């Protein structure tokens, strides 16, 4: 019988079985965007903007986020299925657990900057929704965790999608 255990490590969630170790690599959001936890990048998987008709429009399909901003996004993605994530939980898991000073003002600033940065690659401003007194949630999104794995001999590697 294969016994599965799950624990948190610095790089993210790790699922361990007798045969393999699954590491949280990142997420796929709405089948359009890949969030890579290790490199701190957000990638738009498909571009369907006709550059010929939008010569003055600047767009990108790749975005690099700072560590704290990426931790914030990953924490929201990890907890998206649980409703609102409280401001206090965010401050603890994104700032305080990393020996950084936290405040509600800083959280609001980083959320605002994150929304701005995500808009550059086409993620709508309404993706992250605030609710006074409750916290934040992700709206109308299909969020799929993406795992990488290695076998017990450390030679077998690959990816595994797991739908929440």
Instruction: Write the CA distances from 92 to 101, 104, 127, integer angstroms.
Output: 10, 11, 22
pTM as predicted = 0.74
pLDDT band at 113 (very low <50, low <70, confident <90, very high): very high
pLDDT, one tens digit per residue, over 15-49 is 555 556 778 889 999 889 999 998 999 999 886 65
**For residue 116, what is the domain's CATH number?**
1.10.10.10
Q: Which structural domain, as residue segments, surrounds residue 152?
A: 5-161
Domains contained in the chain, number: 1
The percent of residues above 90 in pLDDT, for the chain, comes to: 46
| Mean pLDDT within 128-153 | 81
């Amino acid at each position: 019988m294969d016994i599965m255990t799950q624990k948190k490590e610095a790089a993210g969630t790790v699922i361990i079985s007798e045969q393999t170790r699954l590491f949280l690599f990142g997420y796929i959001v709405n089948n359009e965007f890949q969030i890579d936890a290790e490199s701190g990048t957000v990638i738009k998987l498909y571009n369907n903007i006709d550059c010929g008709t939008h010569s003055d429009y600047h767009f990108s399909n790749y975005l690099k986020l700072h560590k704290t901003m990426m931790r914030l996004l990953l924490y929201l993605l990890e907890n998206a299925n649980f409703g609102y994530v409280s401001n206090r939980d965010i401050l603890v898991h994104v700032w305080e657990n990393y020996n950084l000073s936290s405040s509600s003002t800083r959280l609001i600033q980083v959320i605002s900057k994150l929304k701005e940065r995500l808009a550059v690659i086409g993620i709508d401003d309404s993706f992250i929704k605030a609710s006074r007194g409750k916290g934040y949630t992700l709206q109308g999104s299909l969020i799929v965790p993406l795992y990488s794995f290695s076998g017990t001999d450390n030679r077998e590697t690959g990816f595994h999608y797991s739908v929440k």
